[in-house]
Amino acid sequence: MEKHINLKLIISSVTIFISIIGFGQEIDVNSEIRKDFTDYFNLISEKKIESALDYSNPKLFELIPRDEMKSLMEAVYKMPNIEYKTGNLTFLKFDELKKIENDNYVKFYIISPIEMKFKDIENTEEQISKMTKNFETKFGVGNVNFDKETGFYKINAEKIIRVIYIK
């Protein structure tokens, strides 16, 4: 009977130890992802698209060539009629690491604040209302505000991000 209890205690201890190690590794994974994604996001904010693309999975460039992706991303900042700014992103939560076909995936949730000012549109009450409703359709009611002083639409874009974690 005592051996049976000791065996249960050993198995329980090992299980707890493995769980603690796994939880610790998951925290490390989340910290690494948080750091890398923040670096990526900051590079995008600073319009350093070429450097930001270094954080992209190489498989992406099999679908869209790197130069084409760079051009698409730079086009956002080159629109003459729109002034575009990003704020500090907020991490909401991380799902557990999942292994699918030899790749480790993590899904996480962020709020990515965006500010947009349209230089070629007059900010009448009607236009502001129309634009706000259009943005709310995409980003959700309560996530869009218009700053009458600056002329910027302030959007809290909630996003789900999926990454392949490579250590």
DSSP assignments along 43-112, one per residue: HHHTT-HHHHHTTS-TTHHHHS-HHHHHHHHHHHHH-TTEEEEE---EEEEEPPPEEETTEEEEEEEEEE
Residue 2: is its pLDDT beyond 80? Answer: no
The pLDDT value given to residue 11: 46
Which pair of structure tokens corresponds to residue 18?
Answer: 């493995």
Q: Is residue 61 part of a domain?
A: no
CA dist 82 and 124 (Å) reads: 17
**Mean pLDDT score, 5-23:** 43
Q: Is residue 68 part of a domain?
A: no
Range of the domain at 148: 2-46+79-165
Q: Is residue 64 part of a domain?
A: no
The pLDDT value given to residue 4: 43
Domains in the chain, number:
1
Q: Is residue 160 part of a domain?
A: yes
Structure-derived torsion over alpha carbons of residues 53, 55, 59, 63, reported in degrees to the nearest 10: -30
Residue-wise pLDDT for 116-148, tens only, equals: 999 998 999 999 999 999 999 999 999 999 999
The CA-based angle 146-124-136, given to 5 degrees, is 40
Q: Is residue 71 part of a domain?
A: no
Q: Is residue 12 part of a domain?
A: yes
Entry pTM? 0.74
The pLDDT value given to residue 167: 63
Which pair of structure tokens corresponds to residue 145?
Answer: 């505000």
Q: Is residue 110 part of a domain?
A: yes
Q: Is residue 39 part of a domain?
A: yes
**Mean pLDDT score, 42-50:** 92
Confidence of residue 58 (pLDDT cuts 50, 70, 90): confident
